[in-house]
Chains A and B, each alone.
Chain A
Amino acid sequence: MAEPTTRSVPPRAHEDPAWVRWTLVSLAILVMTLLVLVPLLNVFVEAFADGIGTYWKNLVHDADTLHSVWLTLMVAPTAVVLNLVFGIAAAWAIARFRFPGRAFLTALIDLPFTVSPVVVGLFLLLLFGMQGFWGPWLREHDIRIVFAFPGLVMATCFVTFPVVARELIPLMEALGADEEIAAVSLGARGWQLFRLVTLPNIKWGLLYGVILCNARAMGEFGAVYVVSGHIAGQTDTMPLRVEKLFQEYNMPGAFAVASVLAMLALVTLLVKTTLEWRTKRELEESKRLLTLGGEA
């Protein structure tokens, strides 16, 4: 051990040879550049190809495009709120209770991630469409679901179902139920327990889930495509509008809308990373609180 070493960094036995490391790193960078970075930059390049004036005109002087932005800003938050409620309920049930069917519920939460969104759209069409299962009843009561706002919300909800719950389950399991049990022993009722103890502990993870859910909701295409009916100025969300402009050979218009979605993605990424860092730090702190507990 006392032998002087000529290398400034001692060789580590568990490391792979340099060429393996560099090949893997280069490969990863190459793939990310070709598949992610270049297309992303291209969106902005194309959007601003005819100058910033045209870009602005494409966004705000097209009534259908404006309506699509407005519709997305209505559909996504509605879906997020619904999934927020569901996500907390599901995470609470799975993280805090042992009940028959718990494993089944856990698996079911992931279903929307594994089913193709187009299939989800078709399901909704078959159930709620005018020719569908509940069609006659809906027609009788003059309720429109498919090709209207409720259908868009349902499709978006279904597809983004798992995001909040998936975020909360591991967090709540890591936090443990100790504080909640203590709160109950001190006389807290259900809502007090949630508001005063659980919510402050999961707030960052919850916010992170909401932001991720919102990003997915705004970008949702497949399921929404099927149930929207593409009525310009009525049921076109932003991703559908991009596709329609593209089909109409209006490249600057399509890329302008796409650039807004892309910017949204970048902001989401930034917020997500910040929150992830915060949640991790708080969890580490609470772990330290436990392990250091023995010291005076």
Chain B
Amino acid sequence: MSITIKNVTKSFGTFVALNDVSLEVPAGELLALLGPSGSGKTTLLRIISGLEVADHGSVYYSDEDVTDAAVRDRNVGFVFQHYALFRHMTVFDNVAFGLTVRKRPKAEIRARVLELLRLVQLDGYERSMPSQLSGGQRQRIALARALAAEPKVLLLDEPFGALDAKVRTELRQWLRRLHDEIHVTSVFVTHDQEEAFEVADRVVIMNKGRIEQVGSPTEIFERPANPFVMDFLGNVNVFHGHVQDGRASLGNIEVAYPEYTGQESRAATAFIRSHELDIVKVKNGRPSLEAKVTHVNATRPVVKVRVYSEAFGVMLNVDLSWDRFEELALALGDTVYVTPRQMRVFVQDYVI
């Protein structure tokens, strides 16, 4: 079942959590809402679920307008960050809850619960209490509980946020496989870009109550829509320069920038990912920045090098392959020349 969000706005007092947001989630997709805290991603998820009501705008499941439907009538599966399992019920009763309140026949409930426990690989745990389970197991039970009544959509609010790193990695791969099996339209909220990129079909990047970019992980990584997305993705060096007449210049580095051919010089920001920088020890004709090596983190397979450019007064992060690092034989204090292989330039909007 597809989800359509049209021009949704939501404020809490004077704080605008969502500002005219529209979004389409095709049926069967696994979508991630990614953004820093306060970006409105959780509010958007809660509005999709009906736990929160939008001030303006509407929500559709397929062609059905559910904007004014209460959460209990929407038939959604919601998974909470802190599981919210019923502490007084066994695993069986937890998973059965959505069916019990719908007064389904006992035999049907039993069959469905056992099927779901197999699906989340926790068969045999029916009689356990939530307090006897590990965090990862609890979250899988919460997921089984959310899926029990065959929800139209599955919504997950930072589902792995309370788990430690190793379990989190395992669970998100498992979620991806599970989704490939059951294909229920799913939306999950996360602030962890690795999680979003690894699990989701498409990622929505949110900031200050607006959507900055929607796209597949590759699209977003290769073609960030704006400086915010570029910066948010991280591992990036930021330069300030200007553009003029089809060229962007950052100090003595000049690159073609056909997007702007005006004669008037405009301020621009260039982003270069740390793996898009190369280091040479001897100046070789290509545009480069002179810098001093200040820090080397010689781990495999990627060596993280920090260099300081005096001319620019900036620290740069450079990722080198181990082979390249050995070839260069870098030592602290060496003077090197840094050249970009690729960069993205964004002309700043006029701000008065």
Q: A interface vs B, CB < 8 Å?
A: 178-179, 181-189, 192, 196-197, 200-201, 285-286, 288-290, 292-296
Size of the chain B interface, CB-CB below 8 angstroms: 38
The 9 closest A-B pairs by CB, nearest first: A182-B84, A178-B84, A200-B88, A186-B98, A185-B78, A293-B135, A296-B167, A188-B101, A296-B134
B119 to A: closest C-beta gap in Å: 17
Give every chain A residue within 8 A of B85 (Cβ-Cβ). Answer: 179, 182
Q: How far is the CA of A262 from the CA of B77 in the complex (A)?
A: 54
Give every chain A residue within 8 A of B89 (Cβ-Cβ). Answer: 200
- Which among B72, B131, B135 is the interface contact of A296 at CB below 8 angstroms? B135
The answer, yes or no, to whether B83 is at the interface (CB within 8 Å) is: yes
10 further A-B contacts with Cβ under 8 Å, apart from A192-B101, A201-B87, A294-B164, are A181-B51, A181-B84, A185-B76, A187-B72, A187-B101, A188-B97, A289-B131, A292-B135, A293-B83, A295-B135
Known contacts A187-B102, A197-B86, A293-B83; decide if A182 and B163 are in contact (CB<8 Å): no
A197 to B: closest C-beta gap in Å: 6
Q: How far is the CA of A184 from the CA of B163 in the complex (A)?
A: 25
B244 to A: closest C-beta gap in Å: 53
A159 to B: closest C-beta gap in Å: 33
- Which among B76, B82, B149, B166 is the interface contact of A293 at CB below 8 angstroms? B82
State whether B138 touches A293 (Cβ < 8 A): yes
A284 to B: closest C-beta gap in Å: 11
State whether B162 touches A185 (Cβ < 8 A): no
Give every chain A residue within 8 A of B73 (Cβ-Cβ). Answer: 187
The answer, yes or no, to whether B136 is at the interface (CB within 8 Å) is: yes
Give every chain A residue within 8 A of B322 (Cβ-Cβ). Answer: none
State whether A196 touches B135 (Cβ < 8 A): no
Give every chain B residue within 8 A of A201 (Cβ-Cβ). Answer: 87-88
Give every chain A residue within 8 A of B71 (Cβ-Cβ). Answer: 184-185
State whether B87 touches A286 (Cβ < 8 A): yes
The answer, yes or no, to whether B304 is at the interface (CB within 8 Å) is: no
Known contacts A288-B131, A296-B135; decide if A187 and B86 are in contact (CB<8 Å): no
The answer, yes or no, to whether B130 is at the interface (CB within 8 Å) is: yes
State whether A189 touches B101 (Cβ < 8 A): yes
State whether A186 touches B82 (Cβ < 8 A): no
State whether A185 touches B88 (Cβ < 8 A): no
Give every chain A residue within 8 A of B131 (Cβ-Cβ). Answer: 285-286, 288-289
A165 to B: closest C-beta gap in Å: 22
Which B67-97 residues have a C-beta within 8 angstroms of A?
Answer: 71-73, 75-78, 80, 82-89, 97
Q: How far is the CA of A289 from the CA of B82 in the complex (A)?
A: 10
- Which among B72, B78, B87 is the interface contact of A289 at CB below 8 angstroms? B87
State whether B97 touches A294 (Cβ < 8 A): no
A288 to B: closest C-beta gap in Å: 7
Give every chain B residue within 8 A of A178 (Cβ-Cβ). Answer: 80, 82, 84
Give every chain A residue within 8 A of B87 (Cβ-Cβ). Answer: 179, 201, 285-286, 289
Give every chain A residue within 8 A of B41 (Cβ-Cβ). Answer: none
A280 to B: closest C-beta gap in Å: 15
The answer, yes or no, to whether B49 is at the interface (CB within 8 Å) is: yes
Q: How far is the CA of A288 from the CA of B133 in the complex (A)?
A: 12
Known contacts A290-B82, A295-B164; decide if A189 and B72 are in contact (CB<8 Å): yes
Give every chain B residue within 8 A of A186 (Cβ-Cβ). Answer: 72, 97-98, 101, 145-146, 148-149
State whether B162 touches A294 (Cβ < 8 A): yes
Give every chain B residue within 8 A of A292 (Cβ-Cβ). Answer: 135
Known contacts A185-B49, A200-B88; decide if A294 and B101 are in contact (CB<8 Å): no
Give every chain A residue within 8 A of B162 (Cβ-Cβ). Answer: 293-294
Q: Which residue of B lies closest to A177 (CB)?
A: B84
Q: How far is the CA of A197 from the CA of B166 in the complex (A)?
A: 32
B53 to A: closest C-beta gap in Å: 13
B51 to A: closest C-beta gap in Å: 7
Give every chain A residue within 8 A of B163 (Cβ-Cβ). Answer: 293-294, 296
Q: How far is the CA of A294 from the CA of B137 in the complex (A)?
A: 11
What 0/1 pattern do residues 50 to 76 of B give for CB contact below 8 A with A? 010000000000000000000111011
Most interface-central of A286, A288, A295, A296 (chain B CB within 10 A): A296
A184 to B: closest C-beta gap in Å: 5
